[in-house]
Amino acid sequence: MSSLLHYLDQGQGQPLVILHGLFGTLDNWQTLARRWATEADLRVISVDLRNHGRSFQSPEHSYDLMAQDVLALFDHLQLGPDTSLLGHSMGGKVAMRFALDYPDRLANLLVMDISPRFSDMQHQDDILAGLQAVPLATLEGRQQADEAMAVHIPHVGVRQFLLKNLYRRDDNSFVWRINLETLASSMAAVGEETTAVQPFLKPALFVRGGKSNYITAEDKLHSIPALFPNSQVETVVDAGHWLHAEKPEEVFQLVKAFVQQ
């Protein structure tokens, strides 16, 4: 099995690599990725992280390993130091880890709605319970999966997002694209604090949703500038954690302006 991450490469110009969040796939960013490729003249490389999407599955899931996976992709694609790296949520923590470990591989860093501090992952308990409640062995369709998840996950938008990970094999049986077993056992690692001996000195843009609490006023003052002294924090008003889905135009413009500056 290939240990190279699955990716989609489109457009020409300065490279922008995009890393999705927990339970996501590169598809979550496709609308914006296409626009950055066509309207901002960027080469946009959207990535499925390990244990997600069409990338390989592994019993190990840590930020050190995920940053190494991204490094292997940079080497494979021969990406130069003019590359921008963007990550959302868990992908944002992968991007931070990569920037801190391999700073000379990047021009700059963009982090969407996550801070370096420890995240208590208890808010994912209901999501895991919902995913685990889906009876894959006897599943006949998406509607049945949605009903099983609804017991634990009342928010229909969250269920629709998670159901994008469900696919039907040639023999008509259903499976998850995510490695649910590994992710469920790795929640503490997904929430862990980002630390480093040396800060990342190049430009960094942190974008927070105005209705999200993933980046706090305290993060803005302390945890972010401690590791990323050359950073700025922008707020997308009226957006929650899924700011790219809720306010795509604002996110499009912020990223375009930052990468091109």
Q: How many residues does the chain have?
A: 261
Q: Which of 46, 55, 84, 89 is catalytic?
A: 89
**Mean pLDDT rounded to a whole number for the chain:** 97
Q: In sequence order, what are the residues at sequence separation of 6 or more whose Cβ sits closer than 8 angstroms to the Cβ of residue 239?
A: 209, 210, 211, 212, 246, 247, 250
Contact by Cβ (8 Å): 181, 187: no
Contact by Cβ (8 Å): 50, 80: no
Two structure tokens written together for 188: 């503490």
Apex 255 CA angle, 251 and 258, nearest 5: 140
Q: Which of 6, 88, 241, 244 is catalytic?
A: 241
Classify domain 7-118+192-260 by CATH architecture: 3-Layer(aba) Sandwich (3.40)
Q: In sequence order, what are the residues at sequence separation of 6 or more whose Cβ sits closer than 8 angstroms to the Cβ of residue 216?
A: 115
Encode pLDDT of 68-90 as tens digits.
Answer: 999 999 999 999 999 999 999 99
- Rounded CA gap, 43 and 112, in Å? 19
Q: What mean pLDDT is predicted for residues 151-171?
A: 95
Tell me the whole-structure pTM to 2 decimals.
0.97
Domain ranges of the chain: 7-118+192-260, 122-186
Encode pLDDT of 151-160 as tens digits.
Answer: 999 999 999 9
Task: Give the closest residue to 90 by CA, choosing from 129, 121, 46.
Answer: 121
Does the pLDDT at position 1 exceed 60? Answer: no
241 annotated active-site: yes
* Integer Rg of the chain from CA: 18
Beta strand 42-47 with 7-10: parallel, antiparallel or unpaired? antiparallel
**What is residue 243's three-state secondary structure?**
helix
Using a 10 angstrom Cβ sphere, with 0-12 exposed, 13-18 middle and 19 or more buried, the burial of residue 138 is: exposed
Scanning the structure block, which residue is given the tokens 């980046």? 215
Q: pLDDT at position 122, please?
A: 87
Encode pLDDT of 116-132 as tens digits.
Answer: 999 888 889 999 999 99
Q: In sequence order, what are the residues at sequence separation of 6 or more whose Cβ sits closer than 8 angstroms to the Cβ of residue 37?
A: 10, 11, 43, 44
Largest CA distance in the chain: 54
Q: What mean pLDDT is predicted for residues 43-47?
A: 98
Contact by Cβ (8 Å): 31, 23: no
Contact by Cβ (8 Å): 109, 85: yes
Encode pLDDT of 177-220 as tens digits.
Answer: 999 999 999 999 999 999 999 999 999 999 999 999 999 999 99
Q: For the range 221-225, what are the long-range contacts, defined as Cβ-Cβ under 8 Å and sequence gap of 24 or more?
A: 223/115, 223/116, 223/117, 224/115, 224/116
Does the pLDDT at position 62 exceed 60? Answer: yes
Scanning the structure block, which residue is given the tokens 């991007």? 95
